[in-house]
Amino acid sequence: MELDDHAEDLASDLGVDKEEVKDDLQNLVEYSVPIDEAKQSLRRKYGDGSSGGGGTPSAKDIADITPDDSNVTVTGVVLTAGERSIRYQGDDHVIVEGRLADETGVIDYTAWEDFGLSPGDTITAGNAGVREWDGEPELNLGESTSLSFEAESREVPYEIGGDADLADLRTGDRAVTIEVSVLECERKTIDGRDGETDILSGVFGDESGRLPFTNWDPAPAIEDGGTVRIENAYVQEFRGVPEVNVSEFSTVTPLDREIDVGSDTTTMDVADAVGTGGIYDVEVVGNLLAVRDGSGLIQRCPECYRVIQKGQCRTHGDVDGIDDLRVKAILDDGTGTVTVVLDDELTERVYGGTLDGALEQAREAMDQEVVADTIRERIVGREYRVRGHLSVDEYGANLDAEHFEESDDDPAARATALLEEVDA
């Protein structure tokens, strides 16, 4: 069924203007709300009585709200409020997204109307819609919500404002405030929704780590490099890792402090790192269990650069391969495993020789596997500290290493340090 038919359907059921319903429907659908859910929420909005009609729903604690609730009344403190522009029917529409908290918990909300919400406000939202997003309930504050600001502010055990470290940002985070150093930045021309437009893309860093970014409305302070404070950014997934999005609604201010990028990077358990679904900058420590096939001296397709077997590229057929070095190794820390991928430079270091040296060794042995064997002997069974980009897909987790160092933690030293801590 087309959107138009759905709108027709709803309009006749509810006895309201079709164009109005269609606008709302389009809005919700473009915001990735499934059509059935969108229709249901409009039935509630226009009150067809099927879900109890006009009466104000009873007040609920945030912790008690479930995706099964259709409408609730909540009182809470606005932790964050970030504007974002979405488009429907050719028009840009500004929505506000953020988090609301009470003593019992926190919930994400989307405000479809301009209620003037600011972090720190204590509000009561009467008849707020509840929808499910990724298994969790979220609040929809719209036309049918009666919103009032409370004179007396509530205390909540959550931080007001969106201050965050890059390492803590997750896909879906909204209205975040970060202080970062611009590590890489390039201007690109893309085919945007209004035709060709310039954007900036690159990498931010702070003490906790690094993340890629896109700046949709190029901010001079970002393009100039240096350090900046960014308010009201949001996070979306791009190529398997979270990416900071800086929009026209974000505030970018130059900072005059230095940021020591990566100085506080925390080491994560492999299981926790994999559990995030992808991290741009992470460090893990584990034992190197095995060097996988396809390591050592390899050949790549000159067209697509993928690894080829016996001169055959899956896409480009018979090709003249380019010699290269790489390692794919399995690292295990007791909580999980990850495939660590070393590029040519890191491979040369663990191999203890250059590509030419590897070619020479393979010629002498008349077998290119000797290169992988040499690497195996050097690294398998040792403990390594690996830092890089982690991506997770259906085949498992890959960690593209930027740093690969033998761990200098020896277990005895760690035990002594722990004892000293306990004694102190």
Interface ranges with Zn ion (CB under 5 A)? 301, 303-304, 313, 315-316
**Nearer Cβ to Zn ion, position 67 or 317?**
317
CA distance 284 to 266: 9
Strand 296-300 to 322-332 pairing: antiparallel
Q: How far is the CB of 300 from Zn ion (least distance, A)?
A: 8
C-beta closer to Zn ion: residue 186 or 318: 318
> What is the DSSP annotation of 125-180?
EEEEEEEEETTEEEEEE-TT-EEEE-SSPPP-SS-SS-B--GGG--TT--SEEEEE
User: Which single residue brings its beta carbon nearest to Zn ion?
Assistant: 301
CA atoms within 13 Å, Cβ hemisphere of 183: 16
Q: Which of residues 154 and 314 has its CB atom nearest to Zn ion in the complex?
A: 314
Nearer to Zn ion, 275 or 302 (CB): 302
Q: Which is nearer to Zn ion, 118 or 315 (CB)?
A: 315
State the nearest-atom distance from the C-beta of 324 to Zn ion, in Å. 13
Nearest to 261 by CA among 352, 339, 166: 166
Q: Is 387 exposed, middle or buried (0-12, 13-18, 19+ CB in 10 A)?
A: buried
State the minimum distance, in angstroms, from the CB of residue 336 to Zn ion. Answer: 32
Contact 96, 174 (CB under 8 A): no
C-beta closer to Zn ion: residue 322 or 418: 322
What are the b/e assignments for 55-68, b being 16+ CB within 10 Å? eebeebebeebeee
In the bound complex, what is the minimum distance in angstroms from residue 318's beta carbon to Zn ion?
10
- Which two three-digit tokens encode residue 406? 């033998």
- HSE toward the beta carbon, residue 274, CA cutoff 13 A: 19
CB nearer to Zn ion: pick between 253 and 312: 312
Amino acid letter, residue 26: Q
Q: Which residues contact 102 (CB under 8 A, 6 or more apart)?
A: 61, 62, 74, 75, 76, 77, 154, 156
Of 174 and 326, CB closest to Zn ion:
326
Greatest CA span in the chain, whole angstroms? 85
Query: 271 φ, ψ to 5°?
Result: -60, -40
Q: Which of 176, 160, 175 is nearest to 76 (CA)?
A: 160
